[in-house]
Amino acid sequence: MKNNSFEKAKTAFLQTRSHRGLFTVTAILSVVYFYVIAFTFPVGVSLLFALLIAGEIFHVYQVLSFIFTTWDTSYLHKRDPSFTPHVDVFITVAGEEADIVEETTRAVKNMTYPDFSVYILNDGYVAKKENWKEAEDVAEKLGVFCITRKTPGGAKAGNINNALRETGWGEGNGLVAIFDADHIPHADFLSKTATYFFDPKVAFVQTPQFYRNFAKNYITRSAWEQQELFFGPICRGRNRFNGVTMCGTNMVLRRDMLCSVGGMSEDSIAEDFLTGLLLHEKGLTSVYVPEVLAEGLAPEDFLSYSKQQFRWARGGFDALAFGFLSRRHLSLAQKFQYFSSISFYFSGLVVVMNALIPVIFLYTGMIAFTVSTMFLAAIFLPYIFLTLYMIQLSSNFSFTFRALTFSMGAFTIHIKAIWAAITREKSSFQVTPKKQVEGNFVSLVIPHIAYIVLVLGGIPIALMREGFSASFIANIAWAALMVGVFVPSIYAALPSGAKSHSKHVARTVDKSVSVSV
Amino acid sequence: MENEVKKTEAAPSWISTDFPIILMLMLFAALLSIVFFREQSLRLDESQSIWQTSRTVMGMLSLVGKDVHVPLYHLILHTWQIFLGNDVAVDRLLSLVFFLLSIPAIYSLGAICYGRKTGIFVAALLTLSPFMNWYGNEIRMYSMFVLVAILHEYFFVKIWKRGDFMDWFWFALVSVCGMYTHYFFFLLVLCDMIFYFFHKEIFPKDAFKKFFKIGIFLIVCFLPWALFVIYLGGISSSEPALTAPSTVDLFNTFSQFLFGFQTDHLNTILVSLWPLTVFLGFLALRKGKGMAPETLYFLIVFLLPNVIAFIVSLTLSPIYLTRYLIFTIPSMYLFLGWLFSTYPKTLSLAVKCILIALMAATLVFEGVSASTPVKENYEEASTFLERNASASDIIVVSAPFTIYPMLYYYRGPATLTTLPIWNQEANGPIPAYSKDELVKDVATLEANHSNLWLLLSYDQGYQKDVELYFDTHYQKLYSDEFSPGLTLYEYKLRY
């Protein structure tokens, strides 16, 4: 029974649906909602109103871009099962535990594909990991190649580029498959991905980044559920625009094309994102395979999760700084897709703004607009509920409360990344820990806790000023809503958030993985 | 022995477990009626029902035909009165019976859609609903409308779940009853049609043909009444004039469906909490918890009639009245039952308990509070007038249709009339108000009377004019408010 649910988890999020009638109604309602609040509501305090409108522009943009992307998620590229070129399989390692590397390498070796070589790309030495020799031991034990880099630079991208150089750089028509140390491929991974390269324009094929430990604890579950919306309808929708996002693992690339853009981009900590963009800029084709063909590990503690999210956000802003919007050779749709990916990380600013508006009211009585709270409800509730339902329906009901609250609760990470990008602060590439880091990470959610304190402190002030007025109650309810959204992040930061759900779940997951491998 | 075991297992479990619970809920509702609602004064609408049903059948049908209602409830009440008399408590008992029957009905609907636990939960909500308790104790068709709506929805769901002959038969029969219970029943039929359009695939193959035939049957059944109303010269309302609703009214309706009639202040607090509904929506984002067809149906039945009535009221003619939309309450509760069932167990239990506690508290408050806005204390006003108005005085009520409850209660020596002056026994609508007519009417009333008692309730847009006229022309001797919006003044006409 539990095995069934594990198997279901690997397919459910990919069974996307595009309800165009619902999309159309939601789009119209979003625009109407924005028009009403922007142009018909009497302005209260201009600054607050401007901030609110800016936030709503962002929200409506997100809704419309989601609709645009997922309007048709059925597009599939053609493949030729008889096309089986040579593949060099790279397993990137930077100090991960030997058992994890060994498990992945064994699975790679067991792939049913006629022509491939296996390389462990050992970056442990340059990453100054004490266990760096272990990767070499694993390679020797399993009879695969090991390339241990001795000259640092470029982090994971540097490691891959070094391996490309060691294996002939851009020579030949071969392919390169890349797996992170914890991403265990299924036996049919290559036979289901390399076959797309019969089309000479295809530069890379990306598959979903499934977390096999998703059921382990609150954080792994939330992290996976956040991924589902992206790897479900969004990635499937991007297939049709030739705008698939490269995700750095569980992917196959055409060696000569990769080398034609200088290998993996070493200019950003989101090397994959930028490399994909450069390949698209050359007019090459990307393919998303909507099937879980490899299984990795989600961050198991809040610190690791936060680091991973920061790396992605910072990488996104790097890409923005890269100026892709002005690049001539990207189509408008591709630019739009890349911008949509990056713009997600601006949501932290909007969350803060939405959270602060009721707090500002509690302390000062200032409001963004002077309209009946019921009128606002009449236009806001249909808009928000229809939007949520649309997302739910198109993701085959994979989008969850946990995913929503983790996205919103990550506002601190997003803002930190924005600040780091503005100040051009150097952020080093850090591999997401594959095993749980024990501890209490409350320091990561101090802003969330401060918000609750701020709300509680503001209540008596507003009560003395306003009494139980409609504005007071509505603002308290808004603040309570935001508190409710932040609480899961606080819970996740506590040791209890990283506690295993149950031994039974853990056992089941282990068993499922061994079955699937 | 083995057979015995099998028999026990095969026995429907709800008989042993849920039946006592549902029975307890029904007893509880009956008890509430005795404690809180039975002794309340007759209200305007109720007095109209009693007045209409006290005629001959044809006389009653004529009155109802000219009113904004259909006659099934009045016919049943008329028959009820023949056997049990027309005491207020006895007449209210009929509405209570409908309300009590709604409890097992909604349980059954909830149980076939979402399982017995949700069935019990929605039955508990209905039992504790301040709104339902109010109309379950009012001599009007509203609790019957709810029962018919639940049965209609039950057989509609049964059609797509099973679809045997009896489901179709009862669906058609209940629909005919619904059409003759309230004009707004057509909105429910519209919801059925829209749902069928979206979910044709879940219905039996020949469903369209059968629905079509039932549609024709309904039209044929309703035609006599439609022709009768046309023959009478159309609807000429003798009820309060409606005004175009605002969004506040819309949300007040939703609030009242859950928490009943509360004071403005409490109601403001309740409806201003609306942002929390967004959080309740967020909580429902659960993996694999999609919306079943039943849920979509209940959502349509809950929202669409409210929205249609609201939009029609804004654009064509005001028809928006919360009690007309009472039939959407079961679908609202069923939707909530589904919503909460999607939450994790502990959270679900907590949210359910909070809602039940809130509804129970507001029910008590609605029952005991003198400031409940819909309370109409004509009984106390009449008793006061019986004691204080003499034969040389005249009692004037405005708006004119508020004379019905006074006619029911008042047994004093003073003459009872209305402003504008209206003979309710004669055919035709209530005379329109004008300032000139007011002067003439007051001049007529002034003759031969020393004091005038003016009882104002139900402002039809001229209450202030009437009050101002008397204030500026006569000496005010007394004023008192007997219930919210029901005010009595005494003026000296002659010395």
Can you tell me the distance from the alpha carbon of B53 to that of B69, in angstroms, rounded to the nearest whole number? 13
| Predicted pLDDT of residue B86 | 78
Q: Which H or E element spans position B234?
A: none
Query: Is there a contact between B276 and A477 if contact means CB atoms under 8 Å apart?
Result: yes
Residue pairs spanning A and B at CB distance below 8 A = 92
Nearest chain B residue (CA) to A12 = B288
B309 burial level (CB within 10 Å; 0-12, 13-18, 19+):
buried
**What pLDDT score does A497 carry?**
73
CB A348 within 8 A of CB A410: yes
From residue B107, alpha-carbon distances to A93, B328, B378 in Å are 60, 16, 37
- Output the DSSP codes for A117-183: EEEEEE-TTTTT-TTHHHHHHHHHHHT-EEEE--S--SHHHHHHHHHHHHTTTT-SS-EEEEEETT-
Helix (H) or strand (E) holding A262: none
Of B333, B420, B292, the residue nearest B132 (C-alpha): B333
Mutate to test the interface with B, among A218, A374, A394 (most CBs of B within 10 A): A374
Candidates B272, B281, B286; nearest CB to A400: B286
Residues of A in contact with B300 (CB under 8 A): none
Residue A299 included in any domain: yes
d(CA B43, CA B153): 31
Cβ neighbors of A326 (< 8 A, separation 6 or more) are none
Task: Give the 3-state secondary structure of residue B415.
Answer: strand
Give the range among A258-262, A428-432, B126-130, B282-286 with minimum mean pLDDT.
A428-432
Rounded to whole angstroms, the Cα distance separating A484 from A308 reads 24
Q: Tell me whether B281 touches chain A (CB under 8 Å).
A: yes
Q: Which of A313, A201, A239, A280 is nearest to A72 (CA)?
A: A239
Residue B238: per-residue pLDDT? 57
Among candidate residues B394, B442, B405, the one with its CA nearest the CA of residue B421:
B442
Contact at CB, A481 and B279, closer than 8 angstroms: yes
Nearest to A220 by CA among A210, A211, A229: A211
Does A81 touch chain B if contact means CB atoms closer than 8 Å? no
pLDDT tens for A112-169 read 999 999 999 999 999 999 999 999 999 999 999 999 999 998 889 999 999 999 998 8
Look at A494-508, B228-242, B299-313, B479-493 and tell me which has the smallest mean pLDDT: A494-508
Candidate from B246, B275, B288 with C-beta closest to A478: B275
Give the integer Cα–Cα distance in Å for B218 and B451. Answer: 55
Average pLDDT over residues A363-378: 91
Helix (H) or strand (E) holding B367: helix B345-368
Kindly state whether residue A321 falls inside one of the protein's structural domains.
yes
Instruction: Establish if A466 belongs to a structural domain.
Output: no
Average pLDDT, chain B: 90
The whole-angstrom separation of Cα A196 and Cα B445 is: 96
Interface contact flag, A468 B251, Cβ < 8 Å: no
Res B168: pLDDT: 96
Instruction: Test A374 with B285 for CB contact under 8 angstroms.
Output: no
> Residue B285: which of A375, A392, A484 has the nearest Cβ?
A392
3-state secondary structure A222-255: HHHHHHHHHHHHHHHHHHHHCCCCCCCCCEEEEH
Query: What token pair was written down for B47?
Result: 């007095």
Helix extents (H) in B54-183: 57-66, 72-84, 88-114, 116-128, 130-135, 142-161, 165-179
Mean pLDDT of chain A: 91
Residue window 243-262, chain B: list those with CB within 8 Å of chain A: 246-248, 250-251
* Gap from B254 CA to chain A (nearest CA, Å): 12
Tell me, what amino acid is at B36? F
Q: What are phi and psi of A116, to 5 degrees?
A: -155, 155
Spatial CB neighbours of A417, under 8 Å, sequence gap ≥ 6: A310, A313, A314, A316, A317, A345
Give the helix/strand (H/E) hosting A408.
Answer: helix A401-409
Nearest of A116, A118, A121, A154 to residue A136 by alpha carbon: A121
Task: Identify whether the C-beta of residue B235 lies closer than 8 Å to the C-beta of residue B229.
Answer: yes
Please write the tens of the pLDDT for every residue from B43-96: 888 888 988 898 899 989 998 888 889 999 999 999 999 999 878 889 999 999
Q: What is the pLDDT of residue B77?
A: 96
Question: 3-state DSSP call for residue B494?
Answer: coil
DSSP letter string over A283-328?
T-EEEE--S--EEE----SHHHHHHHHHHHHHHHHHHHHTTGGG-T
Q: Which residues contact A503 (CB under 8 A, 6 or more apart)?
A: none
Give me the pLDDT at residue A64, please.
Answer: 96
pLDDT at B210 over 50: yes
A398 and B287: CB-CB below 8 Å?
yes
At A2 the pLDDT is 54
Is residue A515's pLDDT more than 80? no
Say if strands B486-492 and B475-483 run parallel, antiparallel, or are unpaired: antiparallel
pLDDT value at residue A325: 78
Q: Kindly state the DSSP code that residue B35 receives in the 8-state scheme.
A: I
Q: Is the Cβ pair A468, B269 closer than 8 Å?
A: yes
User: Is B250's CB within 8 Å of A378's CB?
Assistant: yes
Please state the rounded mean pLDDT for residues B384-403. Answer: 92
Return the pLDDT at B151: 98
Q: Which residue of B has its CA nearest to A486?
A: B279
Q: Structure tokens of A385? A: 């509920």
Nearest to B283 among A389, A401, A478 (CB): A401
Strands A145-148 and A175-180: unpaired
CA pair distance A145, A342, nearest whole angstrom: 37
In a domain, A100, yes or no: yes
**pLDDT number for residue A372:** 84
Judged against a pLDDT cut of 50, whether residue A196 lies above it is answered with: yes
Chain B positions touching A470 (Cβ under 8 A) are 268, 271-272
Residue B209 — very low, low, confident or very high, per pLDDT cuts 50/70/90?
A: very high
The per-residue pLDDT for range A78-91, each reduced to its tens digit, is 999 999 999 999 99
- Chain mean position to CA A49: 31
Is B284's Cβ below 8 Å from some Cβ in A? yes
Q: How far is CA B239 from CA B95, B99, B427, in A?
A: 20, 24, 15
pLDDT at res. A136: 96
Q: Which of A38-42, A512-516, B13-17, B329-333 has the highest mean pLDDT?
A: B329-333
pLDDT in tens, A321-355: 877 778 888 999 999 999 999 999 999 999 999 99
pLDDT, mean of residues B305-325? 94
Residue contact A388–B289, C-beta within 8 A = no
Q: How many domains does chain A have?
A: 1
In a 13 Å sphere around the CA of A406, the CA atoms on its Cβ side amount to 23
State which residue of chain A sits closest to B270, comparing Cα positions: A473
Chain A residues within an 8 Å CB radius of B338: none
Q: Under an 8 A CB cutoff, do B247 and A375 touch? A: yes
Q: Which residue of A has its CA nearest to B283?
A: A401
* Residues of chain B with C-beta less than 8 angstroms from the C-beta of A401: 282-286
Contacts of A319 (CB under 8 A, 6+ apart): A268, A270, A273, A274, A277, A338, A342
Residue A417 lies in a domain: no
Q: At what angle do helices A2-12 and A503-516 cross, to 10 degrees?
A: 60
- A381, B247: Cβ pair inside 8 Å? no
Chain B residues inside the 8 Å CB shell of A225: 287
- Contact: A481, B278; criterion CB under 8 Å: yes
Report the pLDDT value the prediction gives residue B289, as an integer from 0 to 100.
78
CB neighbour list of residue B390: distance below 8 Å, 6 or more residues apart: B413, B414, B450, B451
Contact by Cβ (8 Å): A357, A325: no
pLDDT band at B213 (very low <50, low <70, confident <90, very high): very high
Look at residue A107 and tell me if it is in a domain. yes
Q: Which amino acid is at A197?
A: F
C-alpha to C-alpha distance for B294 and B335, rounded to whole angstroms: 9
Cα–Cα distance, B240 to B401 (Å, whole number): 8
pTM score, whole prediction: 0.88
Residue A55 has pLDDT above 50, yes or no: yes
- Cβ-count burial of B447 within 10 angstroms (0-12 exposed, 13-18 middle, 19+ buried)? exposed
Question: Is A188 inside any structural domain?
Answer: yes
d(CA B127, CA B25): 6
Residue A392 at interface with chain B, using a CB cutoff of 8 Å: yes
* Closest CA–CA distance from residue B269 to any residue of chain A (Å): 6
Query: Residue A352 is which amino acid?
Result: V
Contacts of A450 (CB under 8 A, 6+ apart): none
A200 prior amide bond cis, ω within 30: no
Closest CB from B272, B289, B291 relative to A474: B272
Contact yes or no for B288 and A12 at CB 8 A: yes
Please check whether residue B385 is in contact with residue B414, taking contact to mean a CB–CB distance below 8 angstroms. Answer: yes
Tell me the nearest-neighbour CA distance from A192 into chain B, angstroms: 27
CATH number, domain containing residue A233 = 3.90.550.10
* Nearest CA among B403, B380, B395, B407 for reference residue B450: B395
Select from A381, A392, A401 the Cβ nearest to the Cβ of B277.
Answer: A381
**Testing the interface with B: which of A401, A472, A482 to mutate, by most B Cβ within 10 A?**
A401
Distance from CA of B339 to the nearest CA of A (A): 13
Q: How confident is the model at residue A508 (pLDDT cuts 50, 70, 90)?
A: very low
d(CA B350, nearest CA chain A) in Å: 15
A385 interface with B at CB cutoff 8 Å: yes
Mutation target to probe the B interface, by most B beta carbons within 10 A, among A394, A400, A404 is A400
Distance from CA of A96 to the nearest CA of B (A): 32
3-class DSSP state of B348: helix
For residue B1, what pLDDT is reported?
40
Establish if B407 touches chain A: CB-CB under 8 angstroms.
Answer: no
Question: Which amino acid is present at B444?
Answer: T
Average pLDDT over residues A188-215: 96
User: Which chain A residues have a beta carbon less than 8 Å from that of B288?
Assistant: 12, 397-398
Statement: residue A307 has pLDDT above 60: yes
Nearest chain B Cα to A472, which residue? B272
pLDDT band per the 50, 70, 90 thresholds, residue A501: low
Which structural domain, as residue segments, surrounds residue A248? 87-335
Q: Output the pLDDT for position A327.
A: 80
Among A375, A389, A481, beta carbon nearest to B275: A481
Q: What is the pLDDT of residue B334?
A: 98
A220–B contact, CB cutoff 8 A: no
A225 touches chain B (CB under 8 A): yes
B281 → chain A, closest CA residue: A385
